[in-house]
Amino acid sequence: MKLYYSPGACSLSPHIVASEAGIPLELEKVDLKTHKTESGEDFYQINPKGYVPALKLDDGRMLTEGPAIVQYLADQKPASHLAPAEGSFERYKHYEWLTFINSEIHKSFAPLFGNAGDDVKNEARFKVMKRFEYVNGELDGKPFLLGDTFTAADAYLFVMLTWAHHVKIALPHNLSDFFNRVAQRPKVHAAMKEEGLVK
């Protein structure tokens, strides 16, 4: 399988999930300004949406959208427990977290990376911080979103927290502890190293 990614973008979450699951990936870097891949291809021909991540399966089929990709990767290696068992209540809680992170946190960051005015940026920052307060409360007394087991949703949340550091949003204590806990995972470190994000 080939993962089309941009260093530090949301494509880092499927990269982490694959690393945690022991799934080998071919990596192809995408320049999101020029929409060219490292090998010179027009990325719009690969993913007409124009953004990462995109996962090309071995049979040539393409999967896009981070939550779908991390769920797919997790399901390739059920023994990794990166996604709860099919049909379990925890499975739907996992979907709930992926959906919340995608729609309420990920999208809220958009103005903070663009050329928006100060008012728009301040409003976005406030919204992100409100969402983080909620997640901080949900993490009270447990190491990961679903309890004791690291899942694909934790990988996605971790990437959002790297963005928070980038735009200088302070993390509440449980989220800060969570960030440090996940950053110390060897497979997470390995994925970040492959993208040139850490030494």
Nearest Cα residue to 66 out of 99, 30, 26, 93: 99
Give the span between the Cα atoms of 83 and 119, in whole angstroms: 39
| DSSP 8-state symbol, 29 | E
pLDDT of the residue at 118: 93
CA pair distance 83, 92, nearest whole angstrom: 10
Q: What Cα–Cα distance (Å) separates residue 61 from each residue in 54, 94, 118, 143?
A: 10, 25, 42, 36
pLDDT higher than 90, residue 31: yes
Task: Give the pLDDT mean for 169-188.
Answer: 98
User: pLDDT per residue over 51-99, tens digit each?
Assistant: 999 999 999 999 999 999 999 999 999 999 999 999 999 999 999 999 9
Q: Are 159 and 137 in contact (CB under 8 A)?
A: no
- What is residue 114's predicted lDDT score, i.e. its pLDDT? 83
- Spatial separation of the C-alpha atoms in residues 10 and 155, rounded to whole Å: 10
Q: How far is CA 114 from the centre of its chain?
A: 19
**What are the beta bridge partners of residue 147?**
144
pLDDT of residue 199: 87
Q: Residue with structure tokens 């959002």?
A: 160
Cβ 146 vs Cβ 152: under 8 Å: no
CA distance 114 to 99: 23
Share of the chain above pLDDT 70, in %: 100
Q: Are strands 26-31 and 36-37 parallel, antiparallel or unpaired?
A: antiparallel
**Average pLDDT for residues 169-178, to the nearest whole number?**
97
**Whole-angstrom distance, CA of residue 62 vs CA of residue 159:** 23
